[in-house]
Amino acid sequence: MLPPGDGGSHGYPWGMSSTVDELVAQLRDGGSRVTTARRLVLTALVKGAHHPTAEELLVAVRALAPDVHASTVYRNLEELERLGVVVHTHLGHGAATYHLATEAHGHLVCEVCGATVEAPEDLFEAMAQGAKRRLGFELRPYHFAVLGVCADCAALSDGADPEPSVG
Amino acid sequence: MLPPGDGGSHGYPWGMSSTVDELVAQLRDGGSRVTTARRLVLTALVKGAHHPTAEELLVAVRALAPDVHASTVYRNLEELERLGVVVHTHLGHGAATYHLATEAHGHLVCEVCGATVEAPEDLFEAMAQGAKRRLGFELRPYHFAVLGVCADCAALSDGADPEPSVG
DNA sequence: ACGCTGTTGCGTGCTGGTCGCGTTTTGATA
DNA sequence: TATCAAAACGCGACCAGCACGCAACAGCGT
């Protein structure tokens, strides 16, 4: 699962994901040291699933370096977030999920089936403008998901109202 | 948002929101039994602060019935939520906050100072309509707060960008 | 190659909440 | 009003997710 840390970014279909080397450079610029564990966390973020939890990142890291400790992953994520390299998001009641700051986006999560939809950038715009104009409040709507019912579940539950599962 | 449910109930001075008696009736209608602890939880919700956590409700309940156990409060809140009497909301990283379902509303929380603003009902409307039309997604944007920067903090931090505290 | 200091592994602790169990209480029925 | 099954309770153990203090280790400027 780990092709060479080549410099060029050959595209991932859904976007411009940075390479590990670029992120490592960000670390150095920020004055942080580059360690094995830290590099592996970045690698897992770049190449792994879309919304990994700290736990999932730990598993990915341990696949290559079995002795990395959970608290190391937590501390690294904290530091990476401080440097603006990653952000974390809460999609529901469980653990936070992490992604690269360059991929920041809003999330819609279905209360019924748990499906996660990445919100189009402009979906929040009207609300953000309204909040700014009327309350002076600058929205940053990326940190918590917005819950709701996805199209599939809405169709299925016409007439029957299943218990929400994410709430 | 609160019809004068004061009906026959020999009033709590506060008058406003639903009375404990009305809520108790909802419990009975739902097939649940009415116990001392349960009634006290409802009383705390009706008369207490605006966004109490389970812990704060426990304190309020214990002020009148010192032997009520924390798990009782948690279980009651769970049951009350199942019956649609209360809802819970996450305003930040800490404990959930509870309020009566009749008072459900969206929340804007300042990442910097933690201030909570109750969102005007229609603030979410444009976004909800957009999500419905474009994604078939029915928003229920009340469960997680939407983060941002409040007017005061935005003014203060012009030029300097303090670390978010709520994230 | 050295040494300063950031980082790690490890254990321990905390918060917020859940669960199983034996006992008490509720409220429908007699 | 007494009876009694089932609901709810008190209690403690336990869980997930994460934070922390410390001694040992390792990155990187010199």
Query: With bands split at pLDDT 50, 70 and 90, how would you rate the model's confidence at A166?
Result: low
A48/D1 CA-to-C1' distance in Å: 69
Question: Whole domain around residue A120: which residue ranges?
Answer: 105-167
Residue A50 is predicted with a pLDDT of 86
Are A83 and A123 contained in the same domain?
Answer: no
What CATH number has the domain bearing residue A164?
3.30.1490.190
Are A81 and A52 contained in the same domain?
Answer: yes
Question: Under 8 Å CB-to-CB from A136, ≥6 apart: which residues?
Answer: B150, B151, B154
Tokens of B167: 């994230």
Of A50, A70, A102, the last residue of a domain is A102
Of A68, A102, A136, the last residue of a domain is A102
- Strand C bases with any atom < 7 A from protein Cβ: 6-12, 15-20, 25-28
Nearest to B131 among A90, A123, A136 (CB): A123
Are B77 and B112 contained in the same domain?
Answer: no
Are B96 and B120 contained in the same domain?
Answer: no
Average of per-residue pLDDT across A119-133? 92
> Under a CB-based contact definition with an 8 Å cutoff, are residues B12 and B68 in contact?
no
Q: What is the pLDDT of residues B79-105, one digit of tens each?
A: 999 999 999 999 999 999 999 999 889
**Which residues does nucleic strand D approach, with CB less than 7 A?**
A 28, 33-36, 53-55, 70-71, 74, 78, 94-96; B 32-33, 35, 37-38, 65, 67-69, 71-72, 75-76, 79
Does B6 score more than 60 pLDDT? no
Are A4 and A58 contained in the same domain?
Answer: yes
Q: In terms of residues, how long is chain A?
A: 167
Are A95 and A131 contained in the same domain?
Answer: no
> Under a CB-based contact definition with an 8 Å cutoff, are residues A79 and A68 in contact?
no
Residue A165 is predicted with a pLDDT of 56
Residue A3 is predicted with a pLDDT of 39
φ/ψ of A82, rounded to 5, equals: -60, -35
Q: How many domains does chain A have?
A: 2
Rounded to 10 deg, the angle between the B70-82 and B54-64 helix axes is 110
Average of per-residue pLDDT across A93-103? 94
Q: What is the pLDDT of residues A23-64, one digit of tens each?
A: 999 999 999 999 999 999 999 999 998 899 999 999 999 999
Are A26 and A82 contained in the same domain?
Answer: yes
